[in-house]
């Protein structure tokens, strides 16, 4: 909470781990709603971590194809099986909620990168200034609020897969 609102302060707060940036004046209802979201986010994060741990315990090579019955969907799965062993970059197009990330994970699990990390970022959910920092990282002092070095996801993905979800929601300049 702050009475001194600025973009620099907001960026610094988020980089240092703040869940939300709240500017005075605010209502008790706002604080309560933010606290409820923080608790739910924490619960989902814990559940996500536990599910990831469970998935890692499974044999990655026993990957099953995503479920779908239509001929078009079966063609997409066959195409994924053809492309997965190659070293090609893959663009998966579709409306939000159609399973692009499911297909990306399937491709990853079938690929030579399956033993490496699969990282995902929802590009449409972040302001473009933060998206750049998430993807490319930054060094301490490179902008106001950069209090420590941060490795970008492009480097963190290493030999694995980086899934850029909702990349179409960003500006053309950011996409380049």
CB 85 within 8 A of CB 111: yes
Q: What is the pTM of this model?
A: 0.59
- If one compares 3 and 63, the residue with the highest pLDDT of the two is 3
Residue ranges per domain, the chain?
A: 7-61, 66-112, 116-175
pLDDT digits (tens, 9 = 90+) for 75-124: 999 999 999 999 889 999 998 888 899 999 999 999 999 999 999 999 98
- Percent of the chain with pLDDT strictly greater than 90: 38
Instruction: Please tell me the predicted confidence (pLDDT) of residue 61.
Output: 45
CB atoms within 10 A of CB 107: 24
Q: Distance between CA 17 and CA 32 in Å, rounded?
A: 19
């Amino acid at each position: 909470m702050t009475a001194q609102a600025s973009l620099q302060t907001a960026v610094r707060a988020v980089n240092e781990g703040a869940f939300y940036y709240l500017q005075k004046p605010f209502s008790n209802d706002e604080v309560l709603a933010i606290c409820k979201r923080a608790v739910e986010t924490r619960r989902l994060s814990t559940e996500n971590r536990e599910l990831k741990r469970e998935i890692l315990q499974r044999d990655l090579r026993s990957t099953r194809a995503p479920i779908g019955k239509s001929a078009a969907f079966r063609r997409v799965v066959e195409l994924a099986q053809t492309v997965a062993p190659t070293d090609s970059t893959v663009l998966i197009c579709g409306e939000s909620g159609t399973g692009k990330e499911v297909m990306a994970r399937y491709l990853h699990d079938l690929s030579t990168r399956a033993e490496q990390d699969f990282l995902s970022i929802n590009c449409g959910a972040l302001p473009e200034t933060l998206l750049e920092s998430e993807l490319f990282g930054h060094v301490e002092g490179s902008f106001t609020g950069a209090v420590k070095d941060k490795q970008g996801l492009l480097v963190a993905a290493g030999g694995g897969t980086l899934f850029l979800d909702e990349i179409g929601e960003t500006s053309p300049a950011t996409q380049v």
